[in-house]
A and B are shown apart, each in its own frame.
Chain A
Amino acid sequence: MAELPARAQCVVIGAGIVGNSLVYHLAELGWTDIVQLDKGPLPNPGGSTGHASNFIFPVDHSREFADITLDSMKQYKELGVFTESGGYEVARTEERMEELRRRMSSAKAWGIPAEIVDPDHVVEKVPFLDKDQIIGAAWFPTVGVVDSLRAGTIMRERAIDKGALTVVPNVEVTGMEVVEGRIKAVETNQGRIEADTVVIACGVWSPKLARMAGAYIPLTPAVHQMISVGPCPQLAERPGEISFPIVRDMDTLCYERQHGSDMEVGSYAHRAILWDPEDIPTIEQAKLSPTELPFTSDDFDPQLEQAYELMPELLGAEGAEIRYAINGLLSLTPDGYPILGETPEVKGLWSAAAVWIKEGPGTARAVAEWMTHGNPEIDLGHSDIARFYPHQKTRGHVKARTGESFIKTYGIVHPSEQYTSARNVRLAPMHESQKALGAVFYETAGWERPHWYESNAGLVEKFGEACMPRAHEWDARWWSPIINAEHLQMRETAALVDLSAFAMFDIVGPKALETVQHVIVAQADVKIGRVVYTPVLDSRGGFRSDLTVMRLAHDRFRVVTGGAHGMADLKWFADRLPADGGAALIDLTSAYTTIGLWGPNARAILESVTKADVSHAGFPFGTCRDLEIGNLMVLASRISYVGEYGWELYVPMEIGAAVWERLLEAGKEHGLIPAGIGVYGTTGRIEKGYRAYGYELDSERTLMETGMSRAKWKDQDFIGKEAVIAQAAQAPQAILCSLTVEDHTSASGVKRYMLGGEPIVRRDGSILTDGHGHHPYVTTAGSAPSLGKHVLMAFLPPEEAVVGNELAVSYMEELYPVVVAANDATPLFDPENKRIRGLA
C-alpha cells in the first residue's frame, strides 16, 4: 500500500461510501492530487458503510433528500451495483394508510413511481407475508439494493486510474494543524501531511475529527439493530442476492429485506441507544467491526415478534436461525439533515458526514461541486454545516434531539410537528409576558416563538367562518383558527409580533460598502438611513438568501435575516470580507431583539409613545432611524413582511421587555393585539405573495423564475450579475405562481386544507413538467383570511403560469381544483400596496 505523502491538494479522511464517492467526483471535476486516508483496511474499513442494509427507497418528504437520492441511484446504476427489487411500505392501521397517501403526494411531486395497493398486490409479490396483518400498502417499483462497498472500490479505482488519487489505508489521524483559522496539515500515526483542503468523511467518528481542528460536526453515533435470519428455504430457491421486494413494516418501525437465503430484519423501534464517538471501540477491540457492536437482544425482542407476525412461515421456517445480529452504529443529526460544507470555524476544512447509503454518491457529487465551483447543482441549504447556532453544536443538544427523533425514523411526522426536547433554550426578553398571554410556542433555531396567543381566542368568535376553521384533524394539527383571527384583527387594527429569532450582523470598516455591494443584488450605495430588501445570489444566479440591509453610517451596514438560515448567511458574508481587513463582520444576533408593529393603527400607536414624526412623509417607507420611545432608544425600520403600515423595531435585548410592554399598553385603546408567527410567516406573507428562503427561494431558483427580476441592474459588479443578465435574456424554465383553492370538499365531504409539498397537476390529474424536468409542487400553503381563500405557491411550467388557468392539487390521493391567481410577485391582497404606504 502507498506511503503517506508529505503534501496533497486535498486530503479526504474516510473510505466509506461518502469518502469514496467524493474522491471520484473530485477527480472528475479536475482535482489532481487527492490523498484518501482511512484508519481501517480496504475495502471495508469498519465504518457504517460496512454493515449497511444497502437498500434504497427513493421517496422522502424532503425534496433535497429526494433529489440527492435519485442522483445516487443513477450513479449506482452506472456503476453496475444496483439491483431493482421494488419495495412496499405496508400499513397495519388506517392512520398509516393516510400517511402512505400523503407519501404518494411527495412521490408524485418528486417524480417517483408509486401507487397505493391492496394486500393482494403485496402477497402476490411477497407470498410469505401474512395478508391478514396488513390493510394496504404503498408500492414503489424502483426501490432497489446496492453493493456500496463495491461501488466505493470502483470509484476509488477510477480516481486512481486518472492519476488523481493516492489511497492510504490503515493510517489513523491523530491531529489537525490549523494556522490562522485555516487548515494546514493532518497529523497521523504515520506522519504529517499538508493540504489546503481537508474533508472529514468519517461518519460516526466525524465529531472527534472535527474537534481536533476546533470545529464542530454535531452528529451522534446511534444504534440501529439488525438481525439476519436464515437459511430460509423460500429465499434459498431463488438466485442472486434479492428476488423479493423489500418490505417496510411502517407501523412496527421495521423492515424486512432479503439478502441471499437470509431475511434481514432491521428496526428503528427500540429505545434510542446513543454513543459518543470517543467510546467507539478500536478495530482491535471490536468483535466484528467498530460499528458492529454487541447485539442487545432485549431491545429487539418486541420487533422480533412483530416481524414473525408478518412473515411467520418464512421466519419460522425449519432450520432458519438468527445467524447474525448487531447493534450497528450510524450517524444521526439533531435536525435529521446531513452535515455538509466548509466548517465555519476552520477555512479549508470540510464536512461530508451523516450521509446514508441512499444519499452517498449524490451528496458526494454535490459536495465536490461545492468545493470546486462554490455551488452544488442540487441545493443543499438544509444540510449546510453553517446552519448550527452555538447551542446546537453541543453534545447535549445533539443527544436530546436525536434521542427524540430516532423513534420517528419511520414515524408519521406532521410537517409542523414540534420537538419536545431541548426546548426553552433561547428566550425572548418578553417571554414572560408572552406566557401570560397564553402564547403557544414553536421553536426556531432554539428560540421559543409564539405561534399564536390563546388570549386572542375570543377573536375566533368575532370573525367566525372568516377564520376558515379546519374540520380534519390532520389539517388542523399544529394549527389554530386563532392564527387567522389574529391576521384579520391585524388588518383591522394592529398587531405586535416578536421577531427575536432574526439573525443580525454588521459589516463595518472602510471597505464595508464595497463588500456589501459585491454580495447583494440591490444598490448598496444608498443614503444613510435607507433600508434595502435584496436577494443574495450565488455565481450562477441562484438564491443564497434574501434579506434586508440598513445603511447605518458611511462605513456601517446592518444585515437582518431569518433565524433558520442566519448563521449560513453570516458565513456567506464573512467568507467574502476583503483579505486586507478593510471590513469586518460583527455578529449582533444575541444583542438585539426585534419587535414588529403593523396595521392600520400602527402609526397612531407609535405616535402615542414617541414625539418623533412617524408619518408617511416624516418616516418614509424603506427608511430607518433611531427612535426615542420615552426614555428608551430603538432603531426603527419602516418595512413590512405582512403588507401593513408599520415598523420593525430593533431593540437592545435588555430593554426588549420594556418596549414590548409599553407598546402593548399604548396599543390597548387602538385595538392592538399580540400576533404570532403563524401570521408573520404564513398568512400575512402569502396574501402578499412574499417569497421565503428555504421554501420558494433556494440556490436552484432564479430571480426570473420567482418573478423578482429587475428592469435594470446596478452598474457595480455583484455575485451572480453575469448570470442574472443572461437569465433575463431567456425565457424562464418555471414561474412561481400563487394559486387559490376553489373547492376543498373531499370525497368524504370533509373539507381538506393542503399543508405544503403537494403536487400541482392538471384538472384531469395528468402530470405537469417544467423546463428543468421537475414537477410542480406546493412550496407554501396557507390561509389567506382577508381573501377567504386557501392559497398555494408553486413553480409552474411557463405555459401553465397563466392567470386564470385551471389546475388541480393532489392531496391525500384526491384532486382539488385550483386556479392560478398570480404569475408574478403581484400580491393577491392589496396589489397596489396602498396599506404599506398608508394610503388605505
Chain B
Amino acid sequence: MTNVLVCIKRVPDPTGEVVLTADGSAVDGRFAGWTMSAHEEAAVEIATQVADGGTVTVLSVGLAEAEEQLRSALAVGATDAVLVETDTLGHGPADIAEEIAAVVRSREAGGTAYDLVLLGNDAADTGDFQVGVRLAYALGRPVVTGIQTIAVEGATATFKGEGPDGTEVFELGMPCVATVLEGGVSPRYPSVVGRMKAKKAPLETVAAVGASKGAGRVGLRVPPPPPSEVVVLGEGAAAAPKVVEVLKQLGVLS
C-alpha cells in the first residue's frame, strides 16, 4: 500500500496554435481548452497502478478553475484532491515547490504521509523543469527525474526512464520524489462511472502559504512562425523515387 501525491497543473491544451491572452501574461486556452500535461496524465496513471490500496491524492496550485483538472484525475482513479487556491501569475518554480511542500507537511501532520510524490517532468506551458527538484530539496527527500515507469516493492521504489543512451534504472527508498515523462504508460480516458464518482470525490481547498518571492514570469511572447518551406519534388510518376526517399528520411519507410 503506497500513498501517492500527484501534482498537476492546469495548462492550455498544447495541440493547437499558441494564443496569448490580451496582456501577454499567459497562454489563452479558450480555443484549445484546458488540460493537464501528458507527463502528468502519465503520472496519474502510474500513481493509480502503484497505490495498491493506498491514497492517490492529486494536487494543483492555481485558480478555482483548476478543479476541472483535479476532477479529471479523480475520474481516472485518484481518490482525493487538494487545491491550493491562489493566483499563480508571477509565481516561480520555487514558490510552487513551497506551496506543495506545505501541503505534504500538513497532510503528514494530519495522518496521511505520502510515500511518493510525483510531478510532471516539466510544465506544458512554461517548461521550467524545476519544481520537482526544488520540492525534493524543500522536503529533504531524494528525487529522480525523467521517469517513465515505477514499481514498488516494500519500502523501495524502482524507477525506469528511457534516456538518449539507454534505460536508466534507479532504486530509492521511500519517501521520495519523482518527475514523470510521458511514454511509459498509457493514460486512460475516464469511464462514465469514473466521471460520476469524480463529481462526488472529496476535494479540499486550502489557502496558499505565501505570496510569490522567487523568480517569476513577467510575460510571454510567441515567436513568429517559421517560414513554410515548400519543396517541389517533381510531378507525376517521375516524382515517386524522391517521395520514397523523403519517406525513408522521415522513418516512415525503412
Contact = CB atoms under 8 A, between A and B. Distances in A.
Main secondary structure of the interface of A (DSSP, over half): mixed
Nearest to A316: B193
Contact size range, B:
20 to 34
B192 A294 contact: no
* Listed residue (B31, B192, B195) with the most chain A CB atoms within 10 angstroms of its CB: B192
Contacts of B29: 294
Contact size range, A:
20 to 34
A322 B31 contact: no
Main secondary structure of the interface of B (DSSP, over half): loop
Contacts of B196: 301, 304-305, 308
A231 to B, nearest CB: 11
B108 interface: no
Interface string B118-161: 00000000000000000000000000000000000000000000
Interface stretch (B10-18, B229-237, B245-253): B10-18
Contact of A286 (B32, B188, B191): B32
A307 B68 CA distance: 21
A229 B33 contact: no
Interface in B79-106: none
A285 B72 CA distance: 23
Contacts, number: 65
B32 A285 contact: yes
Nearest to A292: B33
Nearest to B31: A281
Given A293-B33, A295-B33, A308 B16 contact: no
B51 interface: no
Contacts of A316: 191-193
A271 interface: no
A282 B17 CA distance: 9
Contacts of B19: 285
A161 B140 CA distance: 74
Nearest to A284: B17
Interface string B20-38: 0000000001111110000
Interface string A292-306: 011101100100110
Contacts of A322: 189-192, 195
A298 B64 CA distance: 14
Contacts of A287: 13, 15-16, 31-33
A323 interface: yes
Contacts of A229: 191-192
Contacts of A308: 192-193, 196
B199 interface: yes
Nearest to B191: A321
B195 A304 contact: yes
Interface string A152-192: 00000000000000000000000000000000000000000
A315 interface: yes
* Listed residue (A229, A285, A298, A315) with the most chain B CB atoms within 10 angstroms of its CB: A285
B39 interface: no
A574 interface: no
A287 B72 CA distance: 18
B71 interface: yes
B196 to A, nearest CB: 6
Contacts of A295: 33
Interface string A263-299: 0000000000000000001101111000001110110
A315 B195 CA distance: 11
A338 B98 CA distance: 57
A635 interface: no
A286 B19 CA distance: 10
A284 B192 CA distance: 31
A320 interface: yes
B254 to A, nearest CB: 29
* Listed residue (A297, A305, A320) with the most chain B CB atoms within 10 angstroms of its CB: A297
Interface in A695-712: none
Given A284-B16, A287-B13, A287-B33, A298 B68 contact: yes
Interface of B: 13, 15-17, 19, 29-34, 68, 71-72, 188-193, 195-196, 199
Given A287-B31, A307-B192, A320-B191, 10 more contacts: A229-B191, A281-B32, A287-B13, A294-B29, A297-B195, A301-B196, A304-B195, A316-B192, A316-B193, A323-B189
Interface of A: 229, 281-282, 284-287, 293-295, 297-298, 301, 304-305, 307-308, 315-316, 320-323
Q: Which 3 residue pairs spanning A and B have beta carbons closest together?
A: A294-B33, A281-B31, A321-B189
14 contacts: A281-B31, A284-B16, A287-B15, A287-B31, A297-B72, A297-B195, A304-B196, A307-B192, A316-B191, A316-B192, A320-B192, A321-B188, A322-B192, A322-B195
